[in-house]
Amino acid sequence: MSEPNLDEYDYDDEQPLAEAAADFDAFFGEEVAARPRQNVRVCGKTYTLPDSLPLMFTLQAERVQESSSVDDVRAMLAPLFGRDALDDWAAAGMTDRRFRIVLIYAVANVRNPGSLTMQAAAELHDQQEAEKAAGKAAGPNRAARRTKTKKHASSGKR
């Protein structure tokens, strides 16, 4: 079978399609209604997590890693919990550990509602923190071992 010669094709003679454009808004609206959503109570307030992880959350989460700005953290939380969540939680006495556990829990349960319990989120957090601490502690020991076993190369001068 020979391929058509596209150089000879007259694009000006194209007739517009009679079909309507694909409507992603309608499709996603129907899809959202069918997806389960997880409720979570934090510091006395109940939040309904979105049906999927908002792109703004993902983008802001990347930004927060490089930033120490409280406004960046607020912007990250807004798509999941609303703009006032950080201030509300801080005023209620939330700790850094609890904050991180809430994030782990929320992200997992947005992706797959009911997939992670609060206890499992806490255990995952503590495991990650222990791994970080072990990695920091292992750093100097590894460096010391490397210096010990490193052979010094000759400069070539005699």
Q: What is the pLDDT of residue 38?
A: 87
Q: How do residues 80-134 score in pLDDT, each as one tens digit?
A: 999 999 999 999 999 999 999 999 999 999 999 899 999 999 999 999 999 999 8
- Say whether pLDDT at 153 is over 80: no
Q: What is the pLDDT of residue 138?
A: 56
- Say whether pLDDT at 34 is over 90: no
Q: What is the pLDDT of residue 142?
A: 52
Neighbour tally for 75: CB within 10 Å = 19
Average pLDDT, the chain: 81
Backbone angles phi, psi at 47, to 5 degrees: -115, 145
What is the Cα–Cα distance from 97 to 99, expressed in whole angstroms? 5
Region of poorest pLDDT, from 61-65, 126-130, 133-137, 143-147: 143-147
Q: What is the pLDDT of residue 59?
A: 87
pTM above 0.85, yes or no: no
DSSP for 65-77 reads HT---HHHHHHHH
- Tokens standing for 36? 């389960």
- Tokens standing for 127? 């495991």
For residues 132-157, give the mean pLDDT. Answer: 59
